[in-house]
Amino acid sequence: MAHIFIIDDSPTDVRVFTTMLEKAGHRVSSAASAEDGIVKVRHERPDLVIMDVIMPGMNGFQATRNLSRDAGTSDIPILIITTKSMDTDRVWGLRQGAKDFMTKPVESTDLLQRIDSLLAG
C-alpha cells in the first residue's frame, strides 16, 4: 500500500495511528517535531503526511505551509489531525495547503476512508 508519514509530538497518538495504518497494510514513518518531519519528508518522499498542529517549536500549520509551498514536496497530500476543533482552525489549515482536516480522536474507518480518497487524487 502507501507510505504514510506522521508528524506528531505525542508518542501515544503516533502509536495509535501507526497501528491503524499498518493493519490496513500501509508503511508508516514518523517524526516527533515539525522541523524534523520536514527534513524527513523531503528525504523520504512519502505518499501522504498526517500532521498534528500543536507541537513545540514550529507548529503544524507552519510545517504544512512549508511543505505545501516547496516544489519538492507540494504534490504530497497533507491530512491535518488535531485537537483544535474550531471552524477557523479547519479553514486556516486548508489555506496553509492541507488537503483535509480531522479532529482527534479519529475513528479508524473514517481515517482510512479519507486517506484512500486523498491517495486516489
Query: Which of the following CATH numbers is that of domain 3-107: 3.40.50.720, 3.30.160.160, 3.40.50.2300, 3.40.50.20?
Result: 3.40.50.2300
Q: How far apart are CA 73 and CA 54, in angstroms?
A: 22
**Cα angle: 98, vertex 19, 60; to 5 degrees:** 25
**CB 60 within 8 Å of CB 102:** no
Please tell me the predicted confidence (pLDDT) of residue 64.
98
pLDDT exceeds 90 at position 121: no
pTM, rounded to two decimals? 0.97
Over residues 25-51, the pLDDT tens digits come to 999 999 999 999 999 999 999 999 999
Over residues 98-109, the pLDDT tens digits come to 999 999 999 999
Over residues 49-85, the pLDDT tens digits come to 999 999 999 999 999 999 999 999 999 999 999 999 9
